[in-house]
Amino acid sequence: MLRNLLALRQITQRTISSASRRQFENKVREKQKLFQEDNGIPVYLKGGIADALLYRATMLLTVGGTAYAIYQMAVASFPKKQD
């Protein structure tokens, strides 16, 4: 039992310590320049097409949800007719 635990400990230490690390390029300066640029575009749309699609989807869901909530309130405010 102890031998198995020691072997497991050794394997886990080996895989963690020998794992290759990916080198990522720091893109903070580029993003800062992009978002601080004064070009008349709102900051929530400066990320490109993905930001525009997310914004439109959010607005669509918000408007649709609001309309549905108002519809349900109108339906609930009138009692059903008794036969």
In order, the DSSP letters of 4-40 are HHHHHHHHHHHHHHTPPPPPPP--HHHHHHHHH--SS
In a domain, residue 36? The reply is yes
In a domain, residue 71? The reply is yes
In a domain, residue 46? The reply is yes
Distance between CA atoms of 52 and 45, rounded to whole angstroms?
Answer: 6
What is the chain's pLDDT, residue by residue, as a tens digit (83 residues)? 878 877 777 777 755 545 566 788 899 999 899 899 999 999 989 989 999 999 999 999 999 999 999 999 999 999 888 86
Query: Domain of 60?
Result: 26-76
CATH number at residue 64: 4.10.91.10
Q: In total, how many domains does the chain have?
A: 1
In a domain, residue 7? The reply is no
